[in-house]
Amino acid sequence: MLFHDRFHAGRLLAQRLIDYQGQSDVLVLALPRGGVPVAFEVARILRAPLDVFIVRKLGVPDHEELALGAVATGNIRVLNESVVGPLQIPQRIIDEIARREQKELQRQESRYRHNRPPIAVENHTIILVDDGLATGSTMRAAVKSVREQRPKRLVVAVPVGAADTCAELSTEADEVICAANPQHFVSVGIWYEDFSQTPDEVVESLLDRAAQWRQPAAAMS
């Protein structure tokens, strides 16, 4: 399966989530930046509110695409021991990378929300959406942080993911939807014709448009 872009991937992913369409307690949370266009289409088709959930990958020095872990809203830090251990990355380096990414996390919170408060997670069915799963460190941090807010149900949904990562996450989330599990995964980007970076301006625009869907969620919280 090859996706044209993240919007196309979101429309296809939504079909795997169609049982959640129209349910009043469903909330779609997007992992920025690439997860926002995907989640926008999911939320639109499911007729659910959309919010953003900030998670920042901790990249290995000089190999930034390789995740040694992630940080998420709520001072959550998750480490990928299968990467940290073999590479013997010193704790001081991990702490330095985490501090830098925490600052970026706070910047994104301020910019993307435009002073809008987060939508209440407690007692809601949460669908966490990203554009794909490789090591799963970013999503794992998001799952851990969302769990602490006591959702009724937690679903992880991505258009494409490494089979072993999707399987591992199924022990942490109530449901995991990986629309495609290619045998030779390699990376998320090769499954998209257009995998160009999603600019902050696009994230802001989509979240502003989706803010019109917040009223039903606000009434429940």
The more confidently predicted of residues 217 and 144 is 144
pLDDT at position 45: 97
Q: Which residues of 17-36 are buried (b: 16+ CB within 10 A; e: fewer)?
A: beebeeeebbbbbbbbbbbb
Per the CB < 8 A criterion, the answer to whether 43 and 49 are in contact is: yes
pLDDT digits (tens, 9 = 90+) for 38-48: 999 999 999 99
Amino acid 154 reads: L
pLDDT at 220: 38
Pairing of strands 125-129, 26-30: parallel
Of the segments 36-50, 87-101, 180-194, which one has the largest average pLDDT value? Answer: 36-50
Give the pLDDT band (50/70/90) at residue 216: very low
Token reading at 121: 């997670």
pLDDT(127) > 90? yes
The percentage of residues in the chain with a pLDDT greater than 90, rounded to a whole number, is: 61
Mean pLDDT of 45-74: 86
Confidence at residue 141, expressed as pLDDT on a 0 to 100 scale: 84
What crossing angle do the helices spanning 200-210 and 91-113 adopt, rounded to 10°? 50
Where exactly are the structural domains of the chain? Answer: 6-54+121-220
Please state the rounded mean pLDDT for residues 178-195.
93
As a whole number of angstroms, the distance between CA 97 and CA 120 comes to 30
pLDDT given at position 217: 43
- Least confident among 15-24, 36-45, 76-85, 151-160: 76-85
- pLDDT for 1 equals 66
Residue 5 gets the label, from left (phi > 0), alpha (psi -120 to 50) or beta, of beta
- pTM for this model (two decimals): 0.83
State yes or no: pLDDT of 73 exceeds 90. Answer: no
For residue 87, pLDDT over 70 is answered with: yes
Task: Flag whether pLDDT at 214 surpasses 80.
Answer: no
Distance CA 195, CA 208 (A): 23
Average pLDDT over residues 57-81: 82
Segment 125-151 shows an average pLDDT of 91
Distance CA 58, CA 185 (A): 21
The CATH fold of domain 6-54+121-220: Rossmann fold (3.40.50)
Does 155 score more than 90 pLDDT?
A: yes
pLDDT at 211 over 50: yes
Quick one: three-class SS letters along the chain? CCECCHHHHHHHHHHHCHHHCCCCCEEEEECCCCHHHHHHHHHHHHCCCEEECCEEEEEECCEEEEEEEEEECCCEEEECHHHHHHHCCCHHHHHHHHHHHHHHHHHHHHHHHCCCCCCCCCCCEEEEECCCECCCHHHHHHHHHHHCCCCCEEEEEEEEECHHHHHHHCCCCCEEEEEECCCCCCCCHHHECCCCCCCHHHHHHHHHHHHHHHHHHHHHC
Average pLDDT over residues 168-183: 93
